[in-house]
Chains A and B, each alone.
Chain A
Amino acid sequence: MRILLDKFSKSFGSTKVIEDMNLEVASGEMLALLGPSGCGKSTTLFAVCGIHRPTSGRILFGDRDVTNLPSQERNVGVVFQSYALYPHMTVEENIGFPLMVKRAAAPDIKKQVAAIAALVHIDNLLDRRPSQLSGGQQQRVALARALIRRPDVLLLDEPLANLDAKLRLEMRSEIRRLQRETGITAILVTHDQVEAMSMCDRIAIMKSGEIVQIATPSAMYNDPRTSFVAGFLGNPPISFIKGTAFQGAFVSGDGHLKVPLAALSGISDDTPLTLGVRPEHFGTGGDIAVEGRIVFAETQGRENLYDVALPDGSVLRSIQPVRNDIKPGDQVRWMLGSDAAFIFAENGQRL
């Protein structure tokens, strides 16, 4: 079911958290709300599930206006960061709770719980209590409990934050599989760009209560609208160099680096600019030679990550297939791909 936020605003007391936000999530789509802590992404989520009342604006599920509907009548499933399982109930009772509240018949509940438990692969754990489960299993119980009512909307609040690295990888694909199989509309709140990019159809990136950009993961990665978006996506992150415009080219602070860019035609000289270069676009291939000194090298197994200090002190990152011929302190002359570089104005907008 489609979710629409229309001029949604939320403030707590005099603190405005979100102002006039518009967001549409298409039916069956999984959307990530991505942003740093305190950007209002969880507030948005809690408004959608009805725990927070919006200060103004409307929230629509399909064509139904649910703005003033209490949570109980919204038919949403929520997975909380802490899972919020009921500690005194068994797994079976936990999953069956939403149906029990609806006064469904006991045999019916049992049947549905068994079915959904099989879907999330915990059918052998039904008699246990949450404290006897591992983090990943608790996560699956929370998912099952959220899904059993066949909710119109599934909301996930940092569902992977409490898992260890290996489980996180496993649950990432698991959640995506469940979402695809049930065809449910889902919103995932996260501050981890890898989660957002790997799990979701589209990403809405947020900063201080505003959506900066909404796009598919690859479009957002390749075409960020601001330096904030470019800096948030990508691991290892993009590196930025400060400089100015000069005759249609970007010139770094001390003039050592000069990158002619088509986007800069018509920009007057000496306009302050920031150049963004992703690590994969700086190395052996490219059209502009950059001289610098290796200040840091990190082995990642398949690839090596190098920090290269330019003469003016700014640092470019480079990621390359493993090679053993370079060590920190070495002077290098590597190539920068100017067609893949991003140029940003002083206010962060991409040019």
Chain B
Amino acid sequence: MAEKPQPSANFSSLPVILLLTLFSLPLVLMYAYLFIDTISETPVGSLIPNEFTLRHWSFLWQTKTGKPNIWLVTLNTFIFASCITAVILTVASMAGYVLSRLNVPARGFFLAGVMVLHAFPSVTLIIAIFIVLQYIGLYNSLIGVILVKAAIDLPLGIWLMKGFYDTVPWEIEMAGIVDGASRFTVWRRLVLPQIKPAVMALGLFSFLTGWSEFILPQVLAPGAQVQVLSVYLASLIIDDNNFDFGTFKAVGVFYVVPVLILYVFFQKHLMNIYGGGTKG
């Protein structure tokens, strides 16, 4: 919706803007230097860079010794985030519908269970999950960590989907049923399209959390072949004697760019998830 900013008559906006600028300035500066430092050399103790260089970005075309290829890592991250999204969307869109609409036994128990699982801090489970994955041979594999991450994120997804299904009018389903459609067809053809904006939002949300996940891949899939970007990034500064902040920052920028692009294109959809399911 295109809304024209109206000048507010009952208070002056200047002090507000001033205050906000003052408080955001450190943040803006940090972001600026995150980028500036990747393409320049700065003398020790100075803030002003004195030399332009692409040296820090060399990781893109040279594989560093002892590190996996950056493109393999990027591909891994992409697979990791996409698979999580696919699993969450599939399961949450069905489970949410069941919890919202079908009269299944122990529905209340499931609802409460989903809520509790959502509130459960996943880090506390990590040792147990590690042992389980090792036992069934999925340790150090993408599949293993994808399953774990998807399972941990599912309760939120299910709960959100349930909330969105709750807003779809019952009459649409009744109409579908008396029109002769099976319950599955009603869900697939009539109800699911009503919450498409929510599905879209949950998909983006899941992709972004997958993209930025660090702890689970670090613990459950640290191997070079299955490394994701966050783990790669951390490995750059893990060695106390030989760290390279320039490269670290460059990889950081490289890591965050896809996220920014997604935000630019889809921020409207992402807003939806916190909008309480009003029609998008």
In the bound complex, what is the Cα–Cα distance between A81 and B170 (angstroms)?
A: 12
A78 & B175 in contact (Cβ 8 Å cutoff)? yes
Contact yes or no, B180 A102, CB < 8 A: yes
Contact B177 A86 (CB under 8 A): no
B272 within 8 A of A: no
Beyond A51-B177, A98-B180, whether A84 also contacts B185 by CB under 8 A is no
Bound Cα distance A25, B189 (Å): 34
Complex contact B179–A101 (CB within 8 A): yes
Using an 8 Å CB-CB cutoff, how does the interface string of B165-184 with A read, 1 for contact, 0 for none? 00001011011111111100
User: Shortest Cβ distance from A31 into chain B, in angstroms?
Assistant: 19
Contacts A86-B190, A87-B194, A88-B193 given; indicate if A80 touches B175 (C-beta within 8 A).
yes
Measured between beta carbons, the chain A residues less than 8 angstroms from B190 are 86
Contact partners of B169 in chain A: CB under 8 A? 82, 84
Quick one: given A82-B169, A84-B172, are A50 and B185 in contact (CB under 8 Å)? no
The A-B contact count (CB < 8 A) is 58
Is A49 interfacial (CB 8 A cutoff)? yes
CB distance from B174 to the nearest CB of A (A): 5
Q: Please provide the chain B residues from 190 to 217 with a CB less than 8 Å away from any CB of chain A in the complex.
A: 190, 193-194, 196
Q: Which residues from A are CB-within-8-Å of B196?
A: 88
Interface of B is mostly: helix
A83 — which chain B residues lie within 8 A by C-beta? 171
Interface of chain A residues 137 through 179 with chain B (CB within 8 A): 145, 149
- Tell me the bound Cα distance from A332 to B15 in angstroms: 75
Q: Which of A76, A82, A87, A88 contacts B178 (CB 8 A)?
A: A76
Known: A80-B174, A84-B171, A84-B172. A72 touches B194 (CB 8 A): no
Q: Of B172, B174, B178, B182, which is within 8 A of A86 by CB?
A: B172
Contact A51 B194 (CB under 8 A): no
Question: How far is B195's CA from A87's CA once the two chains are assembled, in angstroms?
Answer: 11
- For residue B52, give the distance in angstroms from its CB to the closest CB of chain A: 53
Is A8 an interface position by the 8 A CB rule?
A: no
Contacts of A217 in B (CB 8 A): none
* Interchain CB contact under 8 A, A84 and B182: no
A149 and B174 within 8 A (CB): no
CA distance A267 to B81 in the complex (A): 87
Could you tell me which B residues sit within 8 Å of A by CB distance?
169, 171-172, 174-182, 185, 189-190, 193-194, 196
Extra A-B contacts (13), CB below 8 Å, given A80-B171, A86-B175, A86-B190:
A50-B178, A70-B177, A71-B177, A71-B178, A72-B181, A86-B172, A86-B176, A86-B193, A88-B193, A97-B176, A97-B189, A101-B179, A101-B181
- Could you write out 9 A-B pairs with CB less than 8 Å apart? A50-B177, A72-B177, A72-B180, A76-B178, A77-B178, A80-B175, A84-B169, A97-B176, A101-B179
